[in-house]
Amino acid sequence: MDDPKRYARLFNDIDGPTLITLAVILVCVVLLIIVSQRGLNWLANRLHGQVRFRVFALVPLTRLLILITALAIAVPIVIEPSLRNMVTVLGAVGLAIGFALKDYVSSLIAGVVSAIELPYRPGDWVDIEGTYGEVRHVGMRTVKILTPDDDLVTVPHLKLWDTAIYNANNGETSLQCVASFYLHPAHEAGWVRKALRDVALTSAYLKFDQPITVVAEEQPWGTHYRIRAYPVDPRQQFLFITDLTVRGKRVLSQAGVKAALLPPDAVMDSPDSAGGRRGQPPGR
Amino acid sequence: MVTLEEFTTPDSTQASQWQRTWRTVASRLMGERDTEQQAKQEHELRKLPETRLSHIVPSIDWSPAAELLAQALSRQGLESEPVVFFITPPHGGHGEVVGHWARQQGVDEIPPPTYQALTDGSLEWVKHCAPFKRWALPELERHMLRHSQGLQGVREFLERAMSGRLGHGVIGCDSWTYAYLQHVVGVEGAPVFTLQALEGEQLASYFAAIASSQEDELAVYSTRTGKLVLPRRDDQVRKATANGELQRLAAHCRGHLGVAWHYWRERLREPVSEHGAQAHSQKLWLLDALADAELPATTGDVAMLVLHALLLHGGLEDQALGDVLPFSHHEALNARLALTRQGILSCQGSRWQVAPLSYASVRQLLESRNYLVDPL
- What Å distances lie between residue A111 and A2, A93, A108, A115, B136, CA to CA? 40, 19, 5, 6, 64
Whole-number Å distance between alpha carbons of A90 and B164: 82
Residue range B79-190, CATH number: 3.40.50
Domain ranges of chain B: 36-57+198-286, 79-190, 301-354
Going through B38-164 in order, the beta strands assigned E by DSSP cover 45-47, 83-88, 108-109, 134-137
Whole-number Å distance between alpha carbons of A53 and A126: 14
Identify which of B21, B6, B7, B16 has the alpha carbon closest to the alpha carbon of residue B251: B16
Whole-number Å distance between alpha carbons of A137 and A124: 10
Q: Is B368 on the interface with A (CB under 8 A)?
A: yes
Q: Is B265 on the interface with A (CB under 8 A)?
A: no
Identify which of B84, B163, B154 has the alpha carbon closest to the alpha carbon of residue B126: B154
Q: B192-194 and B2-3 as β-strands: parallel, antiparallel, unpaired?
A: antiparallel
- Inter-axis angle of helices B356-368 and B257-267, to 10 degrees? 130
Q: Is A201 on the interface with B (CB under 8 A)?
A: yes
pLDDT in tens, chain A (284 residues): 455 555 556 677 778 888 888 899 999 989 998 898 888 888 877 777 667 777 877 877 788 788 888 888 888 888 777 777 778 877 887 777 777 777 777 888 888 888 788 888 888 999 999 999 999 888 888 899 999 999 999 999 988 888 899 999 888 888 999 999 999 988 999 999 999 999 999 999 999 989 999 999 998 888 999 999 999 999 899 999 999 999 999 999 999 998 888 766 665 555 444 344 444 443 33
Identify which of A199, A173, A33, A17 has the alpha carbon closest to the alpha carbon of residue B369: A173
Contacts of B167 (CB under 8 A, 6+ apart): B82, B132, B133, B134, B135
CB contact under 8 A, B326 and A205: yes
Q: B345-348 and A222-229 as β-strands: parallel, antiparallel, unpaired?
A: unpaired
pLDDT in tens, chain B (376 residues): 888 888 888 876 667 667 666 666 666 656 555 555 666 777 777 888 888 888 888 889 898 999 999 998 888 887 778 899 999 999 999 999 999 999 988 898 888 999 988 888 888 888 888 777 889 999 999 999 999 888 999 999 999 898 888 888 999 999 999 999 999 988 888 899 999 998 888 888 888 888 766 666 677 888 877 777 776 666 665 555 656 778 888 888 889 999 999 988 888 888 876 555 555 667 788 887 565 667 777 788 899 999 999 999 999 999 999 999 998 899 999 999 999 998 899 998 889 999 998 898 899 889 988 899 999 8
The per-residue pLDDT for range A64-121, each reduced to its tens digit, is 788 888 888 888 888 777 777 778 877 887 777 777 777 777 888 888 888 788 888 8
Which residues in B lie closer than 8 A to residue A198 (C-beta atoms)?
A: 148, 151, 184
CATH 1.10.10.10 is right for the domain spanning A176-280: no
- What Å distances lie between residue A11 and A7, A22, A24, A79, A81, CA to CA? 7, 14, 19, 4, 9
CB contact under 8 A, A49 and B326: no
**Chain A interface, best mutation among B301, B312, B321, by max A CB count within 10 A:** B301
Domain ranges of chain A: 1-170, 176-280
**SS3 breakdown of chain B: % helix, strand, coil, rounded to 5?**
45, 15, 40
Give the distance, in angstroms, between the CA of residue B372 and the centroid of all CA atoms in the same chain.
17
Whole-number Å distance between alpha carbons of A81 and A75: 8
**3-class DSSP state for residue B93?**
coil
Residue B91 near residue B262 (C-beta atoms within 8 A) = yes
In angstroms, how far apart are the furthest CA atoms of chain A? 94
Closest residue of chain B to A45, computed from CA coordinates: B298
CB contact under 8 A, A195 and B371: no
CB contact under 8 A, B147 and A202: yes
Q: Is B297 on the interface with A (CB under 8 A)?
A: yes
Using only C-alpha atoms, what is the Rg of chain B? 22
Residue B300 near residue B339 (C-beta atoms within 8 A) = no
Contacts of A94 (CB under 8 A, 6+ apart): none
Burial label for A107, CB within 10 Å (0-12, 13-18, 19+), is buried
